[in-house]
Amino acid sequence: MIHFEQELDTLKARLLNMALAAESAVTRALKALVERDDTLAARIKEEDKVLDRFEMDIDEMAIDLLTKAPLASHLRLITVAMKAALNLERIGDEATTIGRRAIELNAEPQLKPFVDIPRMATLALAMLRDAMQSFVDRDPVRARSVIPRDVEVDGLNKQVHRELVSFMIEKPSTITRCLHLMVVSKSLERIADHATNIAEEIVYYCEAKDIRHDPEIKRPHAPPGRPAPNSDKPGSTRGNRSR
């Protein structure tokens, strides 16, 4: 039993390292975009291979542990680790997409100062960090607090798209750049979706409740005597909502 618990700890540590790598990939991709750094953007694809390896390693460890898990809580932890790894790998894919679009955008004059896109990245990465911190602390309240924050990222994505549509109508010469930026914005919106997926999985791990399709259950709540966390406050760092 002691050896099994050590293996679980190794699985959790591997997942947390993967989350750090995913966050780093997104941060680098945004830096490549904002600073117009082609060299950095080109490296994002190579870094995505690291996340692919993480996912395969976690799946392999999890499948082995599933044959040994004595408790339902262990089974939940192992399956949640596999699902979280899948979402983290897809976050890496979105970082790669942003890196590719950055290279295309850097070949032309900058369309406008970046404001909403970096804000979307900040919000999405804060959601990811909070989701992973809730996993570390086994804190379903914090995990639930992540879920409503996806709405703000969705709103910013729609705002960016409206603005870029206006650019394309007024200046057809900007169409290519606008389309690239729309893809970047959509990638960030998907990253927030993946963070939400992970948070939902953490609630399942902690409470044995599947809250994917129940808006009422998804609402942040706290046990008696404990205030619900501020859903706007960035923190430390079931299903698939991203389509």
- pLDDT of the residue at 230: 47
Q: Which of 58-72, 136-150, 213-227 has the lowest mean pLDDT?
A: 213-227
Residue pLDDT, tens place only, 70-129: 788 899 999 999 999 999 999 999 999 999 999 999 999 999 889 999 999 999 999 999
Q: Is the pLDDT of residue 226 over 80?
A: no
Q: Are 153 and 189 in contact (CB under 8 A)?
A: yes
Q: What is the pLDDT of residue 90?
A: 97
Q: What sign results for the dihedral spanned by CA atoms 192, 193, 198, 200? A: positive
Domains of the chain in start order, with CATH, are 2-218 (1.20.58.220)
- 111-115, 163-167, 187-191: range with lowest mean pLDDT: 111-115
The three-state DSSP-derived secondary structure of 111-147 is CCCCCHHHHHHHHHHHHHHHHHHHHHHCCHHHHHHHH
pLDDT of residue 219: 55
Predicted pLDDT at 123: 98
Query: What are the tokens at 163?
Result: 């603005």
**Nearest partner of 145 among 30, 63, 235, judged by Cα:** 235
Residue scoring higher pLDDT (67 or 129): 129
| 127-141 mean pLDDT | 96
- 3-class DSSP state for residue 5? helix
> Is it the case that residue 174 has pLDDT exceeding 70?
yes
Reported as a pLDDT band with limits 50, 70 and 90, residue 232 is: very low
Give the three-class secondary structure for 83: helix
> How many CB atoms sit inside 10 A of residue 21's CB?
19
Residue 228 has pLDDT above 60, yes or no: no
pLDDT in tens, 8-36: 999 999 999 999 999 999 999 999 999 99
- Mean residue pLDDT of the chain comes to 89
Q: Reduce the DSSP state of residue 171 to 3 states and report it.
A: coil
Is it the case that residue 5 has pLDDT exceeding 60?
A: yes
Kindly report the pTM of this predicted structure: 0.87
pLDDT of residue 47: 82
Summarize the confidence of residues 153-180 as an average pLDDT. 96
Contact predicate 31/99, CB 8 Å: no
Query: For residue 241, what pLDDT band results from cuts at 50, 70 and 90?
Result: low
- List, for residues 56-65, the tens digit of each pLDDT value: 999 999 999 9
